[in-house]
Amino acid sequence: MTQTAQRTPLVELTGVSKRYGSVRALEGVSLQVHAGEITCVLGDNGAGKSTLIKMVAGLHQHDDGVLRIDGEETRLASPREALDRGIATVYQDLAVVPLMPVWRNFFLGSEPRKGTGPFKRLDVDLMRRTTRQALLRMGIDLRDVDQPIGTLSGGERQCVAIARAVHFGAKVLVLDEPTAALGVKQSGVVLKYVAAARDEGLGVVLITHNPHHAYLVGDRFVLLKRGTMTGSHTRDEITLDELTSQMAGGSDLDALRHELQRR
């Protein structure tokens, strides 16, 4: 951890704010993403988690503060630009096209082609083979890459999306609540692939409202509450209990415990 702190972060937000009209969605949020590390963004509903990833993914632009990619101050104009700069975002709900086969989904938007002129065509064999290999590399063994991706479970679909980002050379992987809609076991599977992506050297931003999941894999923790940052810690500074209690609002949780214990 100590030597990574010296390196330039892949993505760094400093005092970033975002307003939607008169609504202040984010105020003064700072965050660092390093290669081979997982930065967790924790917060309850409405804390500003989605706004934060939309800025990193290039869907929205920040109003104040500084966004740096590889140490260079920048603004992302579109999701395409974010992708080109190595930032891949896996959304919870809009990651895939359910009726399309796994291999078509895998290469969607970056299809390899062969041939020239009017005969330029998809390199279907390469696409099928690469999909299978890339999934295997992440530890996912799909017997049939031709099945519609909608036939996979929610967790498997997340994993395919993660494998996809890794394959296309993403340097930063942004995951929007990858475990939110999943059961305990499936969440575990997804977290394993998140860790696998980290081991491949990617910087990961994991958005979640589950401190247990975050603490399992996270190296840094950023806590959001109603659009402001209420805490920013590295793993050695904080325990799971502290994280949980901060996330739940600390004193609110104590009060709740008192109330419940009296019964």
Partner 1 sequence: MSALTETADERLLETSPLRRLLARPELGSVVGALAVFVFFACCADSFLRASSLSTVLYASSTIGIMAVPVALLMIGGEFDLSAGVLVTSSALISSMFSYQMTANVWVGVGVSLLATLAIGAFNGFMLTRTKLPSFIITLGTFLMLTGMNLGFTKLIDGTVSTKTISDMEGFPTAHDVFASTLTVGGVDIKVTILWWLGLVALASWILLRTRTGNWIFAVGGNKDAARAVGVPVDGTKIGLYMGVAFGAWISGQHLLFSYDVVQSGEGVGNELIYIIAAVIGGCLITGGYGSAVGSAVGAFIFGMTGKGIVFAEWNPDWFKFFLGAMLLLATLLNAWVRKRAEATK
- 8 Å CB contact between 224 and 192: no
Identify the CA nearest to 59 among candidates 40, 77, 75.
Answer: 77
The least CB distance from residue 183 to partner 1, in Å, is: 10
Tell me whether strands 172-176 and 87-90 are parallel, antiparallel or unpaired: parallel
For the chain, the C-alpha Rg in angstroms (whole number) is 20
Closest to partner 1 by CB, 43 or 101:
101
Identify the CA nearest to 39 among candidates 205, 171, 197, 215.
Answer: 205
Q: In which residue are the tokens 């965050």 written?
A: 31
Closest to partner 1 by CB, 16 or 95:
95
Closest to partner 1 by CB, 47 or 162:
162
Closest to partner 1 by CB, 93 or 237:
93
The least CB distance from residue 210 to partner 1, in Å, is: 20
Closest to partner 1 by CB, 13 or 90:
90
Closest to partner 1 by CB, 153 or 239:
153
The binding site for partner 1 (CB under 8 A) comprises 79-80, 83, 89, 91, 94-100, 104, 107-111, 113, 120-122, 124, 138-144, 147-148, 150-154, 156, 189, 192-193, 196, 199
Closest to partner 1 by CB, 75 or 114:
114
The least CB distance from residue 189 to partner 1, in Å, is: 6
The least CB distance from residue 30 to partner 1, in Å, is: 26
The least CB distance from residue 170 to partner 1, in Å, is: 12
The least CB distance from residue 39 to partner 1, in Å, is: 21
The least CB distance from residue 50 to partner 1, in Å, is: 14
